[in-house]
């Protein structure tokens, strides 16, 4: 297996730093100070044209003066100098670099040209680099910090890869404040060489990283990303925010990192297929990621809620239900055990509400022991364990009443959390705490020290538990294997080879039928006499439709006549179509009497595999936009997931006594459509709408295929 260049970049034994000086107000100097200050154990080799010493270390006037080729070169220099320095490092044998400097593809045409130049230089010397336009990396195990902010916590568990440098460095104080400890962090920048795919693969293979957090503005190699993410998500959780799906987001991402954005629904489908948990804010990325990294997996959906107040308990329970989690009423045995420790007015049902109670040993020890031991509970959320933080708030009042002189220290009993912080891993059940206090409170500090997540609102704690539940479903996925590749049907090959334009409904259905996709029986005709003969062959009632790839909305154009019962009605419909389009071919089709309509399709987006779509069909398809996306090739798990994830999935069952849809048959259509798209890259789009459900069976009633160019061979 080819080694990942990040293996060396994240674990160098020597670093040459170009761009650091003795001016502590320069970006490069600050980064080098962090490298030194965070305790990097390897050798640091500053390169400076004038200073003999930089930050207490011997400096070298040029790259050529270095005593040896360092493992890693870091460049924080003016944009115009990057090619020159990269060339010099290539000549002395350095094979890995981080280019912090900006001014490349994110700035427009000139910058893109310069980015191509440095990529060509690196390729010539077999050099791999991170960036440009990034802020560096962090490895808390080495330790190694090449960013502009200090790292406060070492030996963390959450790996981070971000296309924004802010979320690698400016957030470090925020992470420390909330007890979140990172293992590795990679600023991807423009990803001109090492991209998000290699970053994800590296973090997936890193033993110290227990969960992965991603900030994504665009993915250039979506197919490779999908393959890697599927593999990684089966081993450890991935949580991500994507921000390029709106017009403003795409514009900002492009100017920021030169990222290639795409519509939200494309990335939503990609992440779902890859087993990535998608969230809407960077706060959820880090806090949800920390819960995933620090807590045991959630094995079921039954959550115990322990609080010192009714409001937070209700908020947690309500949010749990919204996240598909259960807050079941405790059994009589558990209620009896809990009842021994709570006031008469308190509830022992679940949530357990102590009301106002300052004996923290009950909420922090006695009640957790009961629910962690209970087989009927899979996870625990606790709100309101506090001590010094609360006392500091009321100290002025207490001091006044007790006539305590100003400045006299008062001993505040600290809650013993020794047994509680051990319970999650002892019992294999996650614990999430909620508190309105921060590190000023002793209990919060102890939770942080022992990697127990503390969320700053009750509902946030419940949503975090919901994220654990999402990953439990991802971890338990089955049927992920891609079916064996199909042979290309000769009929389909011939139709595509002969076509130099978009295919009409008749041609499209012939291709679909050759792949085994069920379609209506039909005949294509030119004359009334042919139409009458075709109707006799197909059998009344029939549908009469104009057959042309030019007419996209036939119903609105008056080119579709349904439920034709007689020869006379057929003649009138035929002449009506001819009046609107004198030369158009006409399709005589079997008339389907179904009870539901769906649609499927395929579109191609730059940088993505063929995208297969499924959703609600018929004339309301565009208005409702109830659809979901996956990438080819599809597994049957992908297809079933698509079918289940539309908002109107209730229509697939025995809704209003209708026959349930044959989901296996629908899944086969989607998997086969993905194969067809892979067989013929010349097909730009396919539209199967509507797919009518007749006695539970899906059948394609209309279809179009749009081509890119003339196909010579499959």
Residue 252: give its domain's CATH number: 3.40.50.261
Query: What is the per-residue pLDDT across 393-440, written as a single tens digit (0 to 9) for each?
Result: 776 776 666 666 665 555 677 899 999 999 999 999 999 999 999 999
Does residue 221 register a pLDDT over 80? yes
Largest pairwise CA distance in the chain: 109
Residue 581: give its domain's CATH number: 3.30.1490.20
Q: How many CB atoms lie within 10 A of CB 355?
A: 13
Calculate the alpha carbon distances from 34 to 171, 329, 391 in Å: 15, 52, 37
Query: What is the per-residue pLDDT across 580-609, written as a single tens digit (0 to 9) for each?
Result: 998 899 999 999 999 999 999 999 998 999
Separation CA 119–CA 100 (nearest Å): 15
**Rounded (5°) CA angle 302-310-419:** 55
Does residue 248 register a pLDDT over 50? no
Task: Give the mean model confidence (pLDDT) for residues 210-239.
Answer: 97
Query: What is the per-residue pLDDT across 488-536, written as a single tens digit (0 to 9) for each?
Result: 999 999 989 888 788 999 999 999 999 999 999 999 999 999 999 999 9
Residue 84 domain-assigned?
yes
Question: Do 538 and 629 reside in the same domain of the chain?
Answer: no
Question: Do 653 and 551 reside in the same domain of the chain?
Answer: no
**Owning domain of residue 465:** 295-475
Query: What is the per-residue pLDDT across 604-646, written as a single tens digit (0 to 9) for each?
Result: 998 999 999 999 997 767 777 899 999 999 999 999 999 999 9
Query: Where a domain ends, among 293, 326, 355?
Result: 293
Question: Do 400 and 458 reside in the same domain of the chain?
Answer: yes
DSSP 39: T
Question: Do 221 and 319 reside in the same domain of the chain?
Answer: no
Q: Where would I find the H helices in 625-700?
A: 636-645, 663-679
Task: Give the mean model confidence (pLDDT) for residues 126-134.
Answer: 98
Question: Do 556 and 646 reside in the same domain of the chain?
Answer: no
Evaluate whether 287 touches 455 at the Cβ level (below 8 Å).
Answer: yes
Residue 207 domain-assigned?
yes
Does residue 260 register a pLDDT over 70? no
What integer pLDDT is reported at residue 356 of this predicted model? 65
Query: What is the per-residue pLDDT across 286-341, written as a single tens digit (0 to 9) for each?
Result: 999 999 999 999 999 999 999 998 899 999 999 999 999 999 999 999 999 999 99
Question: Do 105 and 232 reside in the same domain of the chain?
Answer: yes
Does residue 390 register a pLDDT over 70? yes
Residue 148 domain-assigned?
yes
What integer pLDDT is reported at residue 411 of this predicted model? 65
The helix or strand, by DSSP H or E, that contains position 356, with its residue range, turns out to be none
Residue 186 domain-assigned?
yes
Query: Where a domain ends, among 563, 591, 619?
Result: 591
Query: What is the per-residue pLDDT across 45-100, written as a single tens digit (0 to 9) for each?
Result: 999 999 999 999 999 999 999 999 999 999 999 999 999 999 999 999 999 999 99
Question: Do 147 and 35 reside in the same domain of the chain?
Answer: yes
Question: Do 400 and 313 reside in the same domain of the chain?
Answer: yes
Question: Do 430 and 455 reside in the same domain of the chain?
Answer: yes
Residue 714 domain-assigned?
no
Separation CA 677–CA 685 (nearest Å): 9
Separation CA 538–CA 623 (nearest Å): 33
Query: What is the per-residue pLDDT across 656-669, written as a single tens digit (0 to 9) for each?
Result: 889 999 999 999 99
Separation CA 15–CA 96 (nearest Å): 10
Report CA torsion sign: 259, 264, 270, 274.
positive
Question: Do 133 and 236 reside in the same domain of the chain?
Answer: yes
Query: Where a domain ends, among 274, 293, 312?
Result: 293
Residue 561 domain-assigned?
yes
255 pLDDT band (50/70/90 cuts)? very low
253 pLDDT band (50/70/90 cuts)? very low
Query: What is the per-residue pLDDT across 131-167, written as a single tens digit (0 to 9) for each?
Result: 999 999 999 999 999 999 999 999 999 999 999 999 9
What integer pLDDT is reported at residue 400 of this predicted model? 64
Query: What is the per-residue pLDDT across 1-58, written as a single tens digit (0 to 9) for each?
Result: 468 999 999 999 999 999 999 999 999 999 999 999 999 999 999 999 999 999 999 9
CB within 8 Å of 620: residues ≥ 6 apart: none
Does residue 685 register a pLDDT over 60? yes
Residue 488 domain-assigned?
no
Residue 485 domain-assigned?
no
249 pLDDT band (50/70/90 cuts)? very low
Query: What is the per-residue pLDDT across 608-617, written as a single tens digit (0 to 9) for each?
Result: 999 999 999 9
Q: How many CB atoms lie within 10 A of CB 579?
A: 9
Summary mean pLDDT of the chain: 92
Report strand pairing: 431-434 vs 454-455.
parallel
- As for how many domains the chain has, the answer is 4
3-state SS track over 526-539: CCHHHHHHHHHHHC
Nearest to 258 by CA among 41, 107, 464: 107
Token pair of 2, please? 């080819």
Evaluate whether 257 touches 106 at the Cβ level (below 8 Å).
Answer: yes
Question: Do 468 and 408 reside in the same domain of the chain?
Answer: yes
Residue 636: give its domain's CATH number: 3.30.470.20
Token pair of 93, please? 């044998």
Percent of the chain with pLDDT over 90: 82
What integer pLDDT is reported at residue 259 of this predicted model? 47
Question: Do 530 and 659 reside in the same domain of the chain?
Answer: no
What integer pLDDT is reported at residue 624 of this predicted model? 74
Query: What is the per-residue pLDDT across 572-582, written as a single tens digit (0 to 9) for each?
Result: 999 999 999 98
pTM: 0.92
Which residues does residue 99 pair with via DSSP β-bridges, in sequence order?
75
């Amino acid at each position: 297996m080819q080694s990942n260049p990040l293996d060396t970049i994240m674990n160098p034994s020597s670093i040459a730093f170009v761009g650091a000086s003795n001016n502590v107000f320069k970006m490069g100097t600050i980064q080098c100070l962090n490298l030194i200050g965070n305790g990097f154990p390897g050798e640091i080799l500053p390169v400076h044209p004038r200073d003999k010493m930089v930050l207490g270390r011997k400096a070298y006037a040029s790259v050529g003066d270095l005593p040896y080729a360092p493992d890693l070169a870091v460049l924080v220099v003016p944009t115009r100098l990057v090619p020159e320095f990269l060339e010099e490092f290539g000549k002395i044998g350095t094979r890995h670099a981080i280019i912090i400097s900006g001014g490349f593809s994110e700035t427009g045409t000139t910058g893109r040209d310069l980015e191509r130049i440095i990529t060509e230089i690196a390729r010539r010397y077999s050099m791999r680099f991170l960036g440009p336009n990034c802020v560096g990396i962090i490895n808390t195990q080495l330790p190694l910090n090449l960013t502009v902010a200090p790292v406060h916590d070492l030996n963390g568990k959450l790996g981070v890869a971000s296309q924004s440098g802010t979320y690698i460095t400016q957030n470090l104080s925020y992470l420390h404040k909330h007890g979140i400890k990172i293992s590795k962090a990679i600023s991807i920048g423009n990803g001109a060489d090492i991209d998000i795919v290699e970053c994800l693969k590296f973090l997936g293979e890193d033993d110290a990283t227990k969960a992965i957090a991603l900030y994504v503005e665009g993915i250039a190699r979506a197919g490779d990303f999908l393959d890697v993410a599927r593999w990684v998500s089966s081993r450890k959780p991935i949580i991500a925010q994507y921000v390029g799906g709106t017009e403003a987001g795409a514009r900002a991402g492009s100017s920021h990192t030169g990222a290639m954005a795409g519509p939200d629904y494309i990335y939503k489908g990609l992440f779902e297929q890859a087993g990535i948990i998608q969230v809407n804010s960077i706060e959820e990325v880090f806090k949800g990621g920390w819960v995933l990294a620090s807590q045991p997996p959630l094995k079921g959906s039954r959550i115990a809620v322990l609080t010192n107040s009714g409001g937070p308990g209700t908020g947690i329970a309500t949010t749990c239900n919204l996240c598909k989690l259960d807050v079941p009423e405790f059994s009589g045995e558990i209620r009896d055990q809990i009842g021994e420790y709570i006031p008469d007015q308190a509830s022992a049902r679940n949530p357990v509400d102590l009301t106002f109670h300052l004996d923290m040993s009950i909420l922090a020890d006695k009640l957790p022991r009961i629910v962690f031991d209970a087989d009927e509970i899979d996870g625990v959320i606790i709100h309101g364990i506090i001590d010094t933080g609360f006392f500091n708030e009321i100290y002025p009042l207490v001091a006044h009443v007790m006539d305590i002189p100003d400045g006299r220290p008062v001993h505040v009993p600290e809650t013993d959390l020794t047994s509680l912080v051990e319970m999650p891993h002892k019992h294999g059940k996650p614990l999430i705490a909620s508190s309105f206090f921060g590190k000023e409170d002793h209990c919060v500090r102890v939770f942080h020290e022992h990697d127990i997540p503390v969320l700053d609102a009750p509902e946030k704690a419940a949503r975090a538990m919901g994220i654990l539940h999402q990953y439990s479903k991802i971890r338990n996925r089955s049927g992920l294997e891609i079916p064996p590749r199909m042979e290309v049907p000769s009929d389909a090959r011939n139709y595509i080879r002969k076509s130099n334009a978009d295919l009409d409904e008749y041609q499209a259905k012939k291709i679909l039928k050759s792949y085994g996709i069920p379609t209506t029986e039909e005949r294509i005709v030119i004359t009334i006499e042919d139409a009458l003969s075709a109707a006799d062959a197909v059998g009344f009632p029939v549908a009469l439709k104009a057959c042309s790839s030019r007419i996209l909305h036939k119903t609105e154009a008056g080119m579709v006549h349904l439920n034709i019962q007689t020869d006379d009605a057929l003649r009138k419909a035929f002449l009506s179509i001819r009046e609107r389009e004198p030369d158009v071919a006409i399709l005589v089709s079997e008339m389907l009497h179904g009870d539901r309509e769906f649609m499927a399709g395929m579109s191609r987006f730059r940088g993505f595999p063929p995208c297969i779509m499924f959703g609600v069909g018929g004339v309301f398809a565009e208005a409702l936009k109830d659809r979901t996306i996956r990438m080819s090739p599809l597994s049957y798990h992908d297809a079933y997931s698509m079918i289940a994830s539309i908002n109107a999935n209730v229509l697939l069952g025995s809704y209003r006594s209708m026959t349930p849809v044959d989901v296996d048959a629908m899944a086969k259509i989607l998997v086969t459509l993905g194969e067809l798209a892979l067989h013929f890259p010349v097909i730009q789009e396919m539209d199967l709408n509507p797919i009518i459900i007749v006695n539970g069976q899906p059948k394609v009633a209309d279809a179009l295929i749009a081509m890119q160019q003339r196909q010579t061979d499959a």
